[in-house]
Chain A
Amino acid sequence: MKQFVSKSNRALLAELVRTDFKLRYQGSLLGYAWSLLKPLFLFVILYIVFVYFLRLGKDIPHFPVYLLLGIVLWNFFVEMTMQSLSSIVGRGDLIRKIRIPRWMIVFSSSMSATINLFLSLIVVAVFMIINHVTFTPSILLLPLYLLLIYVFALGCSLFLSAAYVKFRDLSYIWEIILQAGFYATPIIYPLQMIKNDFVEKILLLNPIAQAIQGARYNVVTHETLTSFKAWDGSWYIIMPSILTITIFIGGLLYFKSQAKYFAENI
């Protein structure tokens, strides 16, 4: 922890994030605006497909915003883990030639994903206003759900980035897992559509599902099936949090055990 807060480390972290961000839209005409335009267009496409043609979510008020929030949160998870996965290998030049804390590289990837998340949330807020969603004080609980996703994603990222040094197949495997995850998580469909209680409960064990549903409940509409409702308030609702913490600690320990050998294995 002492290392974490040292002045030069904070400066380095800031510089790495800044570089990431500068490079991301390098050479594109609209530059940073793409951070906002991407979720915007995604929303337009999904809206046309799911709301206009498939007519999903008729019973849910503000379904477009509901949909957008879910997608933004899921994209945050995807972006962070995919970027982190290749971060250690991608920064091999630094690792082989300079002594910087290895975790900082993963951490800086997670930071730039987080910045992007906040930009996307601005788009969400704009659509909330357009859709006349009433802002309630419960919106203050949103950071809690964001934190849940962040910690879960960071745990995965630490594990993935360290394992990727040795197993390059991992990027493909992880992509497939994310594909499956996209459908296993109630993002494009309302969870209420699933009539089987048991499946609902299983799906809600996923920390991201819990976070997305919770965020929707507190930000957009109470017509959302949260884990609290699905589990009838039993202690099971803390399962996703336990899972998150377990994955985070496991990822961290694995990362720490491997970090020493990054330089020679890359």
Chain B
Amino acid sequence: MALDKGIAVKVSHVSKSFRLPHESQNSIKGRLINFNNKGYEIQYTLKDISFEVKKGDFFGIVGRNGSGKSTLLKLISGIYAVDEGTIETNGKLVPFIELGVGFNPELSGRDNVYLNGALLGFSRKEVDMMYDDIVAFAELERFMDQKLKNYSSGMQVRLAFSIAIRANTDILVLDEVLAVGDEAFQKKCIAIFEQYKARKQTIILVTHDMSIVEKFCNRAIFIEDGELKKEGSPTEIALQYSDSNNASYAKDKQTAEKRKMAKIKRDIDIEILSAKTGEKQNRFSYGDKMLVRLKWDDPRVKSAGVALLKLSGENLFAPNTYQDRFRFDENTHEIEYEVELNITAGDYFIKAGLFGKTDQIIIAFDDEGPAFIVEPEGSKQRWGGLTRLNYKWKI
């Protein structure tokens, strides 16, 4: 099968299903008793997936938990066998589903380096040559003759990572390696990613961390419920991913809090607009002005409030007209709230409330108002946290 030279991995029409046994069928007795009964359900994990990874691509596979992205990775890595379709690879491929595969707690650090090295395709001689570098990078010089079980988990990860980055291969497949380890470790990972990128190494990265995808990948796909939903630039994929998260978050929230909020009526009409254009909009950049328009019919309404929340539930800022002594009368049925979005990139949503004479009298409340996204603004936005405070440096 001749594969175009510029292509590293070609996935065409791949499907994969798993048999989920109803109960353990790992024994002959189980087989005999359930002889006529199928005893399992077929679950489709991936349906008709096709895409190509070009040489030198930093390729992202994005999806929520259970979307099938890790299964896809295992298929590409040759760990699982495809049901239908084909996967062709051009060159040597090394998967990192986990760091430190094959690490044995009963062996010394030194022995584990050689074992892990062999699993990555290195000969003993090659490991001999790299050994000092590996140990130095992991900062474990004094511990190499101790058994691995006496290492802290951080030390183990450091050692594993230090070996892993030596992997000299055409295609590298990474599965959320960043999910483990502290911040310092993640920074190391990112530094390594930058090296890979500079070297034009072909990388396939599975993650749900969109910031990584946007920073490193040049192309990405988005997988949902086993189907390839979108293929394109990291920015496009990031937006799609946010949208999908919003949708499912709203759904979860509804079921969870429906009972709690059942008593309060939701007679508010909430709209999100751009203050600049006056058009409906739900994607903003840092510093944009957003307009929230509330409409209602109830004449008892004497004050109103709007809150901005992170999708995770943290309340950013929630002023109301009663507190601010901004008054309107019973003939007012519409109010606008203009706010400058000097907040970190991410997913947000709105809660709004209508009150009577004081903000203690709730007339209507919507605790799952419309959502919006603040897009990252390139590298300018380097500060962490929720918002940008007024500050200056001094000596």
Q: Are A263 and B80 in contact, with the CB atoms below 8 A?
A: yes
Say yes or no for B384: interface residue by CB 8 A criterion: no
Please tell me which stretch of B21-29, B237-245, B254-262, B350-358 contacts chain A, meaning at least 4 of its Cβ atoms lie within 8 angstroms of it: B21-29
Say yes or no for B79: interface residue by CB 8 A criterion: yes
Q: Are A263 and B107 in contact, with the CB atoms below 8 A?
A: no
Say yes or no for B115: interface residue by CB 8 A criterion: yes
Say yes or no for A229: interface residue by CB 8 A criterion: no
Rank and list the top 9 A-B pairs by shortest CB-CB distance, nearest first.
A15-B118, A260-B81, A11-B123, A8-B121, A97-B97, A12-B118, A99-B78, A97-B101, A168-B26
Q: Cβ of A96: which chain B residues have Cβ within 8 Å of it? A: 79, 97
**Interface 0/1 of A101-113, CB less than 8 Å to B:** 0000000000000
Q: Are B98 and A97 in contact, with the CB atoms below 8 A?
A: yes
**Given that A12-B119, A19-B104, A167-B27 are known contacts, is A98 also in contact with B124, CB under 8 Å in the complex?**
no
Q: Can you add 5 more A-B contacts, CB < 8 Å, to A98-B101, A260-B81?
A: A8-B123, A15-B114, A27-B106, A98-B79, A169-B28
Q: Cβ of A23: which chain B residues have Cβ within 8 Å of it? A: 104, 106-107
Q: Are A7 and B123 in contact, with the CB atoms below 8 A?
A: yes
Q: Cβ of B106: which chain A residues have Cβ within 8 Å of it? A: 23, 26-27
**Interface 0/1 of A19-34, CB less than 8 Å to B:** 1001100110000000
**Interface 0/1 of B102-120, CB less than 8 Å to A:** 1010110001001101110
16 contacts between A and B (CB under 8 A): A7-B123, A11-B123, A15-B114, A15-B118, A15-B119, A22-B111, A27-B106, A95-B79, A97-B98, A98-B102, A98-B119, A99-B79, A168-B26, A168-B27, A261-B81, A263-B80
Q: Are B95 and A99 in contact, with the CB atoms below 8 A?
A: yes
Q: Are B101 and A19 in contact, with the CB atoms below 8 A?
A: no
Closest chain B CB from A256 CB (angstroms): 12
Closest chain B CB from A88 CB (angstroms): 13
Closest chain A CB from B2 CB (angstroms): 19
Q: Cβ of B18: which chain A residues have Cβ within 8 Å of it? A: 264
With A and B bound together, what is the CA distance between A263 and B70 in angstroms? 13
With A and B bound together, what is the CA distance between A153 and B124 in angstroms? 29
Kindly identify which residue among A11, A27, A98 contacts B97, using a CB–CB cutoff of 8 Å: A98
The residue of chain A having its C-beta at the shortest distance from the C-beta of B126 within the complex is A11
Say yes or no for A115: interface residue by CB 8 A criterion: no
Say yes or no for A243: interface residue by CB 8 A criterion: no
With A and B bound together, what is the CA distance between A191 and B101 in angstroms? 50
The residue of chain A having its C-beta at the shortest distance from the C-beta of B25 within the complex is A166
The residue of chain B having its C-beta at the shortest distance from the C-beta of A165 within the complex is B26
**Given that A8-B123, A95-B79, A98-B95 are known contacts, is A19 also in contact with B27, CB under 8 Å in the complex?**
no
Q: Cβ of A11: which chain B residues have Cβ within 8 Å of it? A: 118, 121-124
**Interface 0/1 of B14-35, CB less than 8 Å to A:** 0000100000011111010000
Closest chain B CB from A29 CB (angstroms): 16
With A and B bound together, what is the CA distance between A95 and B106 in angstroms? 20
Q: Are A93 and B115 in contact, with the CB atoms below 8 A?
A: no
With A and B bound together, what is the CA distance between A145 and B124 in angstroms? 33
Closest chain B CB from A259 CB (angstroms): 9
Say yes or no for A14: interface residue by CB 8 A criterion: yes
| Interface size grouping (class) on chain B | 20 to 34
Say yes or no for A122: interface residue by CB 8 A criterion: no
Q: Are A15 and B107 in contact, with the CB atoms below 8 A?
A: no
Say yes or no for B74: interface residue by CB 8 A criterion: yes
With A and B bound together, what is the CA distance between A12 and B94 in angstroms? 14
**Interface 0/1 of A150-180, CB less than 8 Å to B:** 0000000000000000111100000000000
Closest chain B CB from A162 CB (angstroms): 14
Kindly identify which residue among A8, A98, A100 contacts B122, using a CB–CB cutoff of 8 Å: A8
With A and B bound together, what is the CA distance between A127 and B115 in angstroms? 37
Q: Which of A224-266 contact B (CB under 8 A)?
A: 260-261, 263-264
Closest chain B CB from A123 CB (angstroms): 27
**Interface 0/1 of B201-229, CB less than 8 Å to A:** 00000000000000000000000000000
Say yes or no for B77: interface residue by CB 8 A criterion: yes
Closest chain B CB from A249 CB (angstroms): 22
Say yes or no for A184: interface residue by CB 8 A criterion: no
Closest chain A CB from B46 CB (angstroms): 13
Closest chain A CB from B311 CB (angstroms): 32
Q: Which of B114-164 contact A (CB under 8 A)?
A: 114-115, 117-119, 121-124
Say yes or no for A94: interface residue by CB 8 A criterion: yes
**Interface 0/1 of B323-340, CB less than 8 Å to A:** 000000000000000000
Residue from B27, B31, B80, B119 having most chain A Cβ neighbours under 10 A:
B119
**Given that A166-B26, A264-B80 are known contacts, is A22 also in contact with B101, CB under 8 Å in the complex?**
no
Q: Cβ of B115: which chain A residues have Cβ within 8 Å of it? A: 15-16, 19
**Given that A93-B102, A168-B27, A263-B80 are known contacts, is A19 also in contact with B119, CB under 8 Å in the complex?**
no
Q: Cβ of B122: which chain A residues have Cβ within 8 Å of it? A: 8, 11
With A and B bound together, what is the CA distance between A63 and B98 in angstroms? 55
Q: Cβ of A26: which chain B residues have Cβ within 8 Å of it? A: 106
**Interface 0/1 of B379-391, CB less than 8 Å to A:** 0000000000000
With A and B bound together, what is the CA distance between A169 and B115 in angstroms? 31
The residue of chain B having its C-beta at the shortest distance from the C-beta of A259 within the complex is B81
With A and B bound together, what is the CA distance between A95 and B114 in angstroms? 18
Q: Cβ of A12: which chain B residues have Cβ within 8 Å of it? A: 118-119, 121
